[in-house]
Amino acid sequence: MKKLLYLFLILITAACQSREQPKQEWALALHGGAGNMDKTKFSEADIKSYENALKEALEIGKSALADGQSSLDVVEMVVRNLEDNPLFNAGKGSVFTNDGRNELDAAIMDGRNLNAGAVAGVGDIRNPVSAARLVMEQSPHVLLIGKGASLYASQNGIELVDSSYFYTEKRWQLLQRSLQKAGKNGTVGCVALDKDGNLAAATSTGGMNNKRYGRVGDVPIIGAGTYANNNTCAVSATGHGEYYIRFTVAHDISALMEYKGVSLNDAAKAVVNGKLSNEAGNGGVIAVDKNGNITLEMNSTGMFRGWANADGEEGVAIFK
């Protein structure tokens, strides 16, 4: 009798738990960077073009996930689209270092097996996220940098471009302005849960405007700006990278879930608006958990972002 009662209790608890968190068939979130954005400095036309760019990337991810494509393919595809868009600080729209170069970082992670790949400080790879995937899948390493990364990428069919490809007038002027005052951040990223229950994350960036030649940020550091684990969540961060490295932001969110059973939302809040702050670690994260819950958490006044799930909930937004 006692045994039966015990069994009954276990069944009830399991039923309650599964009702608590409806499982999405698939879910997706993306970002195009965060920072202290002043809405009054954006024209209506600027806002429209950012929103359209976010929608375009969201559409690519949504239809691929709905078609049953893997989260790994989807995060790469979405980030490539954002890298090719000069509006965002990654790939084509990357910011300049203090001495006028473009040095790009990117990472990708597969939540199924904790495989990860990254490239840092590259100046001639058109889509660094694909080079990161190459490092993950074809090399025995996790992180390749600079010329070594470019050589490996070109030997394996990844498109190289002349460094002038990354020149955009807008970013050049931004450097000129910030040579007098503080820098600015921005990045792109995507996290996804696919129909097979696999999570993946990818992040790509030009880094921080006016950074020192040779500086590497959080993006290619697994556990700092990028992390995915099928047991917990997938995270892509954007913000002042030095803090994200020191506070191992993406892994902390996953660890709170894994070791303490904290929900995705609470974990992201505790890290982004607890451990980090607008002054120390300005920025945010996008994350999706194994049940398809999505979090878009920031401590800054804006983050270019988009989200969608199989239930048809979706949107894009810029300001907090």
Give the nearer residue to ligand ASP in terms of CB position, either 76 or 218. 218
DSSP strand pairing (233-239 vs 283-289): antiparallel
**Residue 219 C-beta: closest distance to ligand ASP, Å:** 5
**Residue 111 C-beta: closest distance to ligand ASP, Å:** 21
Task: Give the angle subtended at the CA of 185 by the CAs of 248 and 31, to the nearest 5°.
Answer: 75
Give the nearer residue to ligand ASP in terms of CB position, either 281 or 292. 281
Give the nearer residue to ligand ASP in terms of CB position, either 103 or 289. 103
Q: Verify whether residue 301 is a known catalytic residue.
A: no
Q: How many CB atoms lie within 10 A of CB 275?
A: 15
Tokens of 201: 């994350």
Give the nearer residue to ligand ASP in terms of CB position, either 93 or 241. 241
- Secondary structure (H, E, C), 210-242: CECCCCCCCCCCECCCEEECCCCEEEEEEECHH
**Cα 301 to chain centroid, rounded:** 18
Give the nearer residue to ligand ASP in terms of CB position, either 32 or 111. 32
Which distant-in-sequence residues (6+ apart) come within 8 Å of 194 by Cβ? 26, 65, 68, 69, 70, 71, 74, 200
Rounded Cα gap, residues 272 and 237, in angstroms: 10
**Residue 218 C-beta: closest distance to ligand ASP, Å:** 5
């471009």: which residue's tokens? 161
Rounded Cα gap, residues 18 and 75, in angstroms: 27
Give the nearer residue to ligand ASP in terms of CB position, either 37 or 65. 37
Rounded Cα gap, residues 264 and 287, in angstroms: 8
Identity at 198, one-letter amino acid code: N
Q: How many CA atoms lie within 13 A of 274 on its CB side?
A: 10
**Residue 310 C-beta: closest distance to ligand ASP, Å:** 28
Interface residues with ligand ASP (CB under 6 A) are 33, 185-187, 205, 207-208, 217-219, 225, 238-239, 241, 244, 283
Rounded Cα gap, residues 160 and 117, in angstroms: 18
**Residue 282 C-beta: closest distance to ligand ASP, Å:** 9
**Residue 244 C-beta: closest distance to ligand ASP, Å:** 6
DSSP strand pairing (233-239 vs 226-228): antiparallel
Q: Which residue is catalytic, options 13, 40, 168, 187?
A: 187
Give the nearer residue to ligand ASP in terms of CB position, either 122 or 219. 219
Residues 157 and 133: beta-carbon distance below 8 Å = no
Closest residue to ligand ASP, judged by C-beta, is 241
**Residue 97 C-beta: closest distance to ligand ASP, Å:** 11
Catalytic residue numbers, as ranges? 187
